[in-house]
Structure 1
Amino acid sequence: MSRAEKETTSNGDSGFGDQTEARRLDELKGIVPESTFSVEKLREWLIAFIVCDFNVDLGPEIEWIYPYSQFSPADLTTICFNSFPDRNNPDDLTTDTSFHFRFRHTSKDIKVPSSELVSHPEFWFGYCLFRQQRDETVKRKYGQKSFVVISQHDFTSLFRDQMLAKTLPLLDFSASSALMESACAQIVNWPTPRPGQMELPFFGSIFNLHIPLHASYPLQGLVRKESVKQNHPIDIFALDPVGSWKQVVECLPNAVDLYIIYERILLCEPIVALALDPRFCSEFVSLAFDLIRPVPFAGDYRPYITMHSDIFSQSHGGPNTNHYLVGITNPFILKRLQSQPSKKPLIHSPKDMPYIVNLTEPAPKNGHRHRKSRSPHKEEAGFDIVSQEPKGYVSRDWGFLKELDEACKGDSSPADISRLVRRHFAYLTARFLAPLDRYFAQLITAKSAVDPFEYKGFSEVDFLQMLSKHGSGVEFKGKTHFQRNKMEEAFYKKFCKSPSFFNWLQMKIELASRSQMAR
């Protein structure tokens, strides 16, 4: 039985899993050494290091927590199951897999200092490095463990790509409390996280961390300083998206789908990314909502979920019910997203069907897969994985698509291709926002220059009249001028009613307030 199947069949026993984790937490309380540093200071950056072991008979279980932290049993179950891939290759014992996930925590006994950098303190992040090695003493002849950093900060480039990379080579296959204590002792000497640049020493390296004033600043990390000096500080852009657009484009049926992804993210409509491993789907989520910056993504985003994700244990009655961006590797989750027993389903009508980004195989070199082709997972899942046919609004830039195609076929690096995609959509977003910026600029009076909350005086009717008069820098679909104008109006109407618009407006108010306070 595969791990995905084991999760599916055991999903109804989550209460049993919670009881198991509660017992393990009590056991750890007596054996984990007391910390010799300020836990409160450590929690300015992270909450704990956790080592998870995969028991072939019982499933994932907690092996170690440092420093000891009173996680709720539900959170420990979520962390355990989200810290392992649904699928893995037992013959590959040399390659570590790193990925990250996000969950709504219920650990009320863990006190985390408030920070202006944390906009949603109800969510925590797990940064994982999964490793397996030959072990003749267990049934499957190989053991599996995940080393996890739990933090309130969405700093994937720091925690996943640098901290875990520096720590794991020092670990053997067993938990090392001495190593974790050494890591924590260095972190507590770091300055309090704040916008700007900070030098952070860690195991012989220096991380030069860049934190922007706001999470939605566009093109973060695009310009990097390369140094030939050995032991030079490593530049890390805390909110820089991870992953490569080259890998994504090679899996899409057509590069034109980038515009569908962009529109749905901008309008906060549901998207599910299906990949073969958690690293790829979690990186896609990171790349996707970077496309619309400086518009903040307003939905619930989960870089990687399993059947035991906390997303299924919530009522989802809030404003983000059908506004989500989710990464999965288990196709059964698609079925569960549509029908949850005794709970309101995430999907209420055909228009709420998620757009499925199938990243499970590269597109054929001599042609493109049809969007509605049968899913390679049909035999496994028992149903077709078919995404709804989306309605596009924005006209495609064929010059950009040609340049992207040539770059993917040529010898351009993944970093070069990612820069090309990010710049194109950053400029597209800037042109899209220009009419809204123009509208709000004419609202500013002597009073609103002092009180930025005057931005709230938005009238959709007045804005659309101004849009009709001045137009937009974005090219919309349509054969005639009239059709293009109607498409433009429909798209802006949809955006102004979406959570994305209100999040973007709140960001403008927040930044204006900061500017006034700094004077």
Structure 2
Amino acid sequence: MTDGLTDINNFKVENQNVWEGLNNWIYCICVVTFDLELGQTLEIKYPKHVQLTEQEISNICYSAFPDSNSGCMGDTKFVIRLPSKNKRPLKQDHVSYNRRCPPSMKIDEGYMWGFVYFRQVRDINLPRGYFQKSVVLISYLPFNNLFTEVCSYIAPEYFIHDEKCLETICLDVERWPPPVPGMNLSLPILGRVFQTCIPINSLRGYEIGDNKILTQVEDLNIFELFKPVLSHIHLLWELVITSEPIVVMASSPTTCSCMVVALTRLISPLQFCGDYRPYFTIHDSEFKLYKQYTSKERFPRCPPPVILGVTNPFFVKTFQHWPHTIILNEDIGQASKYKLRKPAISKMAENSSGIYTSYKPFLQKDKNIIKKLMTGVNSNRPDEAQSALLRKHLVELTHSFIYPLERYIASLMPLQKDISAFKAAPIPGPFNPENFFTTLDTGGPQLTLNKTNIKGDWIGLYRKFFRSRNFNSWYNSRYRELSQKLQALHTEALSNADLKNWVQNRPEVEVVDMVLRLKNRLGECETNIPVSDSVKEQLSQRMQDVVTSLPEDLKNILKAS
């Protein structure tokens, strides 16, 4: 440990400007302890200048300990995701990161991630008889595996060396390179080096040297997690892709937080755009918001699109009328054990494992993939291979579902011959669901699936998807991309236009208007319109061509503006 400490004697850690590199990766590190009078309290926040609201501190503190910690002796690791009402603007490095990263790993400035390492051990020297403390690494980056591994390394060191250790950790992270997708990154911390990459697909981490660890930013053993519900995997896929509200109840925060994150990845590469809270407690500031949807009298009022992971037995009774509930007991490692159950108060009260829902799937199961995976169970196929099979099937299913939509929305682009430098830039055509459905006969999902044919009411599923937050986000993103593409094509047309000839015999008001349009377009090219530097240079030259045709007084006015 001492070999990894950084000399900080001449480093002005109180100056918040020195933490620019740290903020690329980590917002802060919190240490939460148990006070006999106050309960869970924030003991340390580092760097100290970092601003957290009272509500954020409360949520961090109450989420940093297992709800029922009597059974969590030793060390427990889990993930939390916390709303940040006071949105902090994205750093430029994070804006660049969001443009290149996989959809599931995008930064959402409305949420912070917490990677928790909780320790509970007997200590007769303490008033309560137990040492209870959590180290929580707070970040906007959803790197559940990398940061869990980092926290698992630094937390035990902190328990030994206290606050001085946090300064060293932050100074080490301060020197890390920015998080750039697709690049191999070396991240030294406390004498070890975590080597990682931000890929589209993640692999399991493994040792590569005495003090170097190759750690992928995300590492979900989705087969192990979904093994008990394999026969219902297509049902879960439908619930997630249509943004249905789900509660995951488990005996430990580790289990429920992993399952919640895994559920959101079921529809990759499509981004899950509902709220999701890998570990949620009754002390959370939004508990009352969700509780209002759980009384029988208020139904069929549907909860908002959210996936909650909970451990407190109190939720079994409180959320007994929630539309879709997954209960995971200690027997989660057994394949296809869990049954599909209708919501029932008596069953919920028994805390029986299973999926509780009245949802009727639109699609039939793909029995072939389930059979392949069960054969793998019987032949002891490694979990890595099983997860790869399952992940490949789910990606193909999502791709086949989205592909007809991608093809249809591409058809909404105006023809390039309709783009004129002397007219306003065109906009994409409107999205019409009924027109979209007419395209399915020649290119529907059942025709694009690889070596399979999942039958069912695809149109019914699309109609439900169109009412979901996932569709709204996907459509808005695609519409924005099409609009930017049209703006770029229009900009290229302007840059190639013969404006010297165009200005002949034009009224001054039209010429001035053209200059202002070109000037505004050049500004937009720096931020919103994706064009090459050569196009910008040509556009600037076209503006000069127009300006030179104006009288001197107008030239001076335009320069001043």
- Name the TM tier (shorter chain): 0.7 to 0.9
Equivalent residues of 1:70, 1:107 under 8 A apart: no
1:177-326 map, 5 Å: 177-197=163-183, 198-211=185-198, 220-222=201-203, 230-231=210-211, 234-236=214-216, 238=217, 240=218, 242-252=219-229, 255-312=230-287, 322-326=304-308
Write the letter of the residue equivalent to 2:410.
A
1:423 equivalent in structure 2: 392
More helix by share: 2
Q: Tell which structure's C-alpha radius of gyration is larger.
A: 2
Pairwise CA distance, 1:74:
1.5
With over 3 angstroms needed to count, the CA separation of the structure-2 counterparts of 1:286 and 1:134, relative to structure 1, is: same
With over 3 angstroms needed to count, the CA separation of the structure-2 counterparts of 1:507 and 1:410, relative to structure 1, is: farther
C-alpha distance in structure 1 between counterparts of 2:250 and 2:108, whole Å: 27
1:59-458 map, 5 Å: 59-68=39-48, 69-89=50-70, 92-93=73-74, 96-106=75-85, 113=91, 115-116=94-95, 117=98, 119-161=107-149, 163-172=150-159, 176-197=162-183, 198-211=185-198, 220-222=201-203, 230-231=210-211, 234-236=214-216, 238=217, 240=218, 242-252=219-229, 255-312=230-287, 322-333=304-315, 335-336=317-318, 353-362=322-331, 369=339, 371-372=341-342, 378=349, 387-447=356-416, 454-455=427-428, 457-458=430-431
Unaligned runs of 5+ in 1: 1-32, 339-349
Q: The residue matched to 2:31 in structure 1 has which SS?
A: strand
TM-score (norm 1): 0.75
With over 3 angstroms needed to count, the CA separation of the structure-2 counterparts of 1:371 and 1:422, relative to structure 1, is: same
Write the letter of the residue equivalent to 1:97.
T
C-alpha distance in structure 2 between counterparts of 1:302 and 1:137, whole Å: 36
With over 3 angstroms needed to count, the CA separation of the structure-2 counterparts of 1:42 and 1:468, relative to structure 1, is: same
Between the aligned residues of both structures, percent identity stands at: 27
With over 3 angstroms needed to count, the CA separation of the structure-2 counterparts of 1:310 and 1:443, relative to structure 1, is: same
Pairwise CA distance, 1:134:
1.7
C-alpha distance in structure 1 between counterparts of 2:418 and 2:177, whole Å: 34
With over 3 angstroms needed to count, the CA separation of the structure-2 counterparts of 1:266 and 1:183, relative to structure 1, is: same
With over 3 angstroms needed to count, the CA separation of the structure-2 counterparts of 1:337 and 1:517, relative to structure 1, is: farther
Q: Which has the higher contact order (CA 8 A, sep 6+)?
A: 1
With over 3 angstroms needed to count, the CA separation of the structure-2 counterparts of 1:283 and 1:190, relative to structure 1, is: same
TM-score (norm 2): 0.70
C-alpha distance in structure 1 between counterparts of 2:16 and 2:444, whole Å: 62
Pairwise CA distance, 1:374:
7.6
C-alpha distance in structure 1 between counterparts of 2:107 and 2:335, whole Å: 43
Please tell me whether residue 503 in structure 1 is matched to residue 473 in structure 2. yes
Q: The residue matched to 1:196 in structure 2 has which SS?
A: coil
**Deviation digits for residues 61-93 of structure 1 (CA, Å, limit 9, x no counterpart):** 111111113322221111001001112355843
Pairwise CA distance, 1:510:
5.6
Pairwise CA distance, 1:326:
1.2
* Stretch deviating more after TM superposition (490-499 or 367-376): 367-376
Equivalent residues of 1:35, 1:67 under 8 A apart: no
With over 3 angstroms needed to count, the CA separation of the structure-2 counterparts of 1:129 and 1:35, relative to structure 1, is: farther
C-alpha distance in structure 1 between counterparts of 2:358 and 2:119, whole Å: 39
Pairwise CA distance, 1:257:
1.4
Unaligned runs of 5+ in 2: 1-12, 99-105, 293-301, 489-528, 533-561
With over 3 angstroms needed to count, the CA separation of the structure-2 counterparts of 1:437 and 1:377, relative to structure 1, is: closer
Write the letter of the residue equivalent to 2:231.
V
C-alpha distance in structure 2 between counterparts of 1:316 and 1:376, whole Å: 20
Equivalent residues of 2:244, 2:305 under 8 A apart: yes
